[in-house]
Amino acid sequence: MPNELTTAARNDIAHHLHSYTNLSEFEQTGPLVLSHGKGIYVYDEHGREYIEGLSGLWNTSLGFGEEALVQAAVEQMRKLPYYHTFASHGTEPPVKLAERLKALAPAPMSKVYFTNSGSEANDTVVKMIWYYNNAAGRPKKKKIISRIKGYHGVTVASASLTGIAINHRDFDLPIANILHTDCPNHYRFAEPGESEEDFATRLADNLDKMIVAEGPDTVAAFIAEPVMGAGGVIVPPATYFEKIQSVLKKHDVLMIADEVICGFGRTANFWGSQTFGIQPDILVCSKAISSGYLPISAVLINETIYQGLVDESRKIGVFGHGFTQSGNPTCAAVALRTIELMQERNLVEHVRSVAPRFQTRLREFSDHPLVGEARGVGLIGAVELVADKKTKTSFDPAQKVGLYVTARAREQGLILRFLGGDVGAFCPALIVNETQIDEIMQRFSKALDATWAWVSKK
């Protein structure tokens, strides 16, 4: 173990199991221990400043140290810190939050069910769909189609929906009744000369063929992120969701919008569904709903699905699903205050005003010798590194080029995350201004240039 590790870092290695970490390497390198944050900045235990370029994990939309959210939590904790929603019990904050979410929803919704994370929310969706179709007398209509590279969580059901190999490998996933169709990455998977529109048509046709082959009476739902997040910040090709939803309607297949990353202003509309013309039957949200300050997520369902739940619970005697912390009043109060602050400060309009600068600066990296594509929408984006720009050949994973850029960026005071090896993701807090956007890109540029020098030598 390196001598320079602090006591906090050594204790972390000794006692704490980390998510999405190479556990073997971690035993030697240890953690970056952060102590506090303010706005778009976080500070480590030595006082070094970093721009948080991914808003934590796509979630701290209002930045760090937002006193109004702290106050909302304190006030509710003094009043009633916790109560459950089992057996017809309720508290005021989740009711107000549910009402607000319904009013903001991109399509008519009937009820809101609260969970604690995006993973739990999507796991709940799977159960609800199966329950609903049993109520509707369609016991075979249980299959849910997700997409390769889609990310929907890490519980058993939600990790099965996730279309990323590391979330399946040696976890014995996916489970039955979960299918995966094409990834809508035009840069990677379009045929030579194929336009975005033609690519979208081909993917919709493939989905149609999959549903027909499986049997429309067995396919219940299709789930999609408006913009794929952890799968590589993949923006859908033009006309994609229009054509996909036409196929779903044809076969009576529900549309689930996973808004865990895209919701709450990220794409320059309140919902990613509004940006891409999605009309969901079910909507899932989390992360920025509380700016990441407390764990909470929500499942919004339409009236048809709700009535199915009512019918089946009438038959059984209870809707047998729930979490101890569902509708936690403190979490709900913070989420409600987050939405209020977004509206009071016109944050969606702010995103629209700074997004052009963000996207322009991001796309400037397209000319860099390491970058195959720079892409994004609103205040979310990515650069994909390649070993050969002409052939789009990726780097050998053993070279760990993405990890090298991450380390160089950290040296420049910028925290980023590389996805799948060589896709660097950007997702700054929604409060970011144009000067800070320029600083993010400048720091990343230095890291990228240092990496190019390293790759060139190798």
Q: Each residue of 323-358: pLDDT tens digit?
A: 999 999 999 999 999 999 999 999 999 999 999 999
Quick one: pLDDT at residue 111?
98
Do 151 and 249 lie in one domain? The reply is yes
Nearest CA to 291 out of 39, 34, 104, 36 is that of 39
- Of 292, 322, 344, the one marking the end of a domain is 344
- Of 344, 372, 391, the one marking the end of a domain is 344
Do 49 and 117 lie in one domain? The reply is no
Question: What's the average model confidence in pLDDT over 388-409?
Answer: 95
Residue 393, strand partner residues: 388
Question: What's the average model confidence in pLDDT over 67-91?
Answer: 97
Question: What's the average model confidence in pLDDT over 125-137?
Answer: 97
Quick one: pLDDT at residue 318?
95
Quick one: pLDDT at residue 458?
78
CB 222 within 8 A of CB 256: yes
Do 370 and 297 lie in one domain? The reply is no
Cα separation, 3 vs 111, in Å, equals 55
Do 359 and 304 lie in one domain? The reply is no
Do 280 and 366 lie in one domain? The reply is no
What's the order of all strands across the beta sheet hosting 49-52? 34-38, 41-44, 49-52, 414-415
H-helix or E-strand containing 348? Answer: helix 347-363
Q: Could you give the C-alpha distances from 68 to 65, 182, 320, 433, in angstroms and in order?
A: 9, 43, 36, 20
Quick one: pLDDT at residue 419?
94
Do 99 and 117 lie in one domain? The reply is yes
Cα separation, 168 vs 404, in Å, equals 26
- Of 279, 309, 344, the one marking the end of a domain is 344
Question: What CATH number should be reported for the domain holding residue 359?
Answer: 3.90.1150.10
Residue 371, strand partner residues: 385
Q: What are phi and psi of 255, to 5 degrees?
A: -105, 120
Nearest CA to 420 out of 382, 458, 374 is that of 382
Q: pTM for the whole thing?
A: 0.96
Question: What's the average model confidence in pLDDT over 115-136?
Answer: 98
Do 316 and 259 lie in one domain? The reply is yes
Whether 2 is covered by a domain: the verdict is no
CB 434 within 8 A of CB 361: no
Whether 7 is covered by a domain: the verdict is no
Residues 6+ apart with CB under 8 A from 42: 34, 36, 49, 50, 52, 64, 415
Predicted confidence band of residue 185 (pLDDT cuts 50, 70, 90): very high
Whether 22 is covered by a domain: the verdict is no
Do 58 and 146 lie in one domain? The reply is no
CB 305 within 8 A of CB 37: no
Check whether the bond before 31 is cis (ω within 30° of 0).
no
Task: Inform me whether the pLDDT recorded for 3 exceeds 60.
Answer: no
Nearest CA to 147 out of 177, 171, 179 is that of 179
Tokens of 157: 């059901």
Number of separate domains in the chain: 2
- CA 309 vs. chain centroid, Å, equals 27
Whether 25 is covered by a domain: the verdict is no
Do 50 and 185 lie in one domain? The reply is no
Cα separation, 453 vs 458, in Å, equals 9
Question: What CATH number should be reported for the domain holding residue 277?
Answer: 3.40.640.10
Residue 282, strand partner residues: 256, 301
Q: What is the largest CA-CA distance in the chain?
A: 70
Q: Is 293 exposed, middle or buried (0-12, 13-18, 19+ CB in 10 A)?
A: buried
Question: What's the average model confidence in pLDDT over 140-158?
Answer: 98
Nearest CA to 342 out of 22, 104, 106 is that of 104
Q: Find tokens 């979960």 and name the residue.
A: 178
Amino acid at 2: P
Do 74 and 50 lie in one domain? The reply is no
CB 159 within 8 A of CB 125: no
Cα separation, 273 vs 262, in Å, equals 8
Tokens of 16: 């704490």
Task: Inform me whether the pLDDT recorded for 2 exceeds 50.
Answer: no
Do 279 and 135 lie in one domain? The reply is yes
Amino acid at 333: A
Whether 276 is covered by a domain: the verdict is yes
Residue 104's SS3 state is helix
Task: Inform me whether the pLDDT recorded for 268 exceeds 60.
Answer: yes
Quick one: pLDDT at residue 86?
97
- Whole domain around residue 112: which residue ranges? 69-344
Quick one: pLDDT at residue 4?
79
Do 310 and 384 lie in one domain? The reply is no
Nearest CA to 241 out of 271, 266, 285 is that of 271
Percent of the chain with pLDDT over 90: 98
CB 89 within 8 A of CB 324: no
H-helix or E-strand containing 179? Answer: strand 178-181
pLDDT tens digits for range 215-265: 999 999 999 999 999 999 999 999 999 999 999 999 999 999 999 999 999
Tokens of 209: 């063929």
Task: Inform me whether the pLDDT recorded for 420 exceeds 90.
Answer: no
User: Whole-angstrom distance between the N-terminal and C-terminal Cα of the chain?
Assistant: 28
Whether 434 is covered by a domain: the verdict is yes
Whether 287 is covered by a domain: the verdict is yes
Whether 324 is covered by a domain: the verdict is yes
Cα separation, 410 vs 419, in Å, equals 16
Of 3-7, 187-191, 340-344, 396-400, the poorest mean pLDDT is in: 3-7
Task: Inform me whether the pLDDT recorded for 127 exceeds 90.
Answer: yes
Quick one: pLDDT at residue 1?
39
Burial of 11-30, coded b for 16+ CB within 10 Å and e otherwise, reads ebbeeeeeeeeeeeeeeeeb
Helical pair 329-344 and 92-104, crossing angle rounded to 10 deg? 40
